[in-house]
């Protein structure tokens, strides 16, 4: 039950563009650490937690590989 709930919330966030936002923000920081970058990385980790294949394969790879 908890796994399904986690996947549901991850998919909902991914559908709203959170994965792309994480990638854009991290790449825009140009390697300069800040609290906002750390929070963004934590968000990115959260949407991938549990090995969410849908987000990894569909969302992130489609963004990274044009």
Q: How many domains does the chain have?
A: 1
By C-alpha distance, which of 59, 26, 65, 57 is closest to 42? 26
Residue 34's pLDDT is 93
Residue 35's pLDDT is 95
Q: How confident is the model at residue 60 (pLDDT cuts 50, 70, 90)?
A: low
CB-based contact 49:6 (threshold 8 Å): yes
pTM for the complete prediction? 0.73
Per residue in 2-50, pLDDT tens? 888 888 888 888 888 888 888 889 889 988 989 999 999 999 888 888 7
Please give the residue range of the domain that contains residue 8: 2-64
Mean pLDDT of 52-63: 71
């Amino acid at each position: 039950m908890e796994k399904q709930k986690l996947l549901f919330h991850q998919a909902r966030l991914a559908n709203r563009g959170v994965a792309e936002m994480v990638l854009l923000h991290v790449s825009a920081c140009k390697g300069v650490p800040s609290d906002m970058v750390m929070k963004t990385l934590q968000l990115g980790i959260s949407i991938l937690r549990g090995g969410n294949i849908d987000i990894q394969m569909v969302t992130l790879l489609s963004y990274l590989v044009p």
